[in-house]
Each structure stands twice: as C-alpha cells, then as structure tokens.
Amino acid sequence: MYNNDTVEERFFRERYAQELQKIKKKQQGAGSYRQNDEMADERRKVNQQEGRTPGRRGEEIKQEEIDKEIVRREMLKQKNKNESNERKDT
C-alpha cells in the first residue's frame, strides 16, 4: 500500500498521523461519540478537497491514515473494555 511512498510522501503520512492523534487528545473525556464525530468531520473535509482536486496523492494518503486511526482507536477501546471487564471479574 504505502511501501512505494517517496520520502516526501512518507514524511507527509507521518505528520498527518500525528495530527490525527492530536485530534484524539483534544477530544479525550468528551465520549466516544464525539471522537467518532471528529473523525467523520475530518473525512468529510478530505472528501470535499478530493472532489475539488481529484487524483492528488495527499488526499489518498489522508484517507488511508484516517482508516488506520479509526482502527487503532477501536482496538484501544476494545482493549480498555476487556481490561475493565477483567478487573470486575477478580
């Protein structure tokens, strides 16, 4: 998928992934609904930009990174949920 990225694309990907994680930190404590809404807002912005300038590599990278961030957040949520259930059982 992104193994063929140029140096610039790799740098852009890393910076954008960091920005997505900052969005999460701003939203902590606001509930998972708000966090999902924030990712939906970000995806909507990227889709709008992609509609204006189709075929740009930056928007493709952003879509991929948004997908990865959503999966990462869900995995963390499941992990925390499982840990919480284990504490209750003991």
CA distance 78 to 70: 12
pLDDT, tens only, 11-62: 999 999 999 888 765 555 545 555 567 888 999 999 999 888 878 889 999 9
pTM of the predicted structure, to 2 decimals: 0.71
| Residue 2 domain-assigned (yes or no) | no
Domain count for the chain, please give it: 1
pLDDT in tens, 65-84: 999 999 998 999 899 888 88
Rounded-to-integer distance, Cα 62 and Cα 23, Å? 14
Structural domain of 84: 7-89
76, part of any domain: yes
Q: Is residue 15 part of a domain?
A: yes
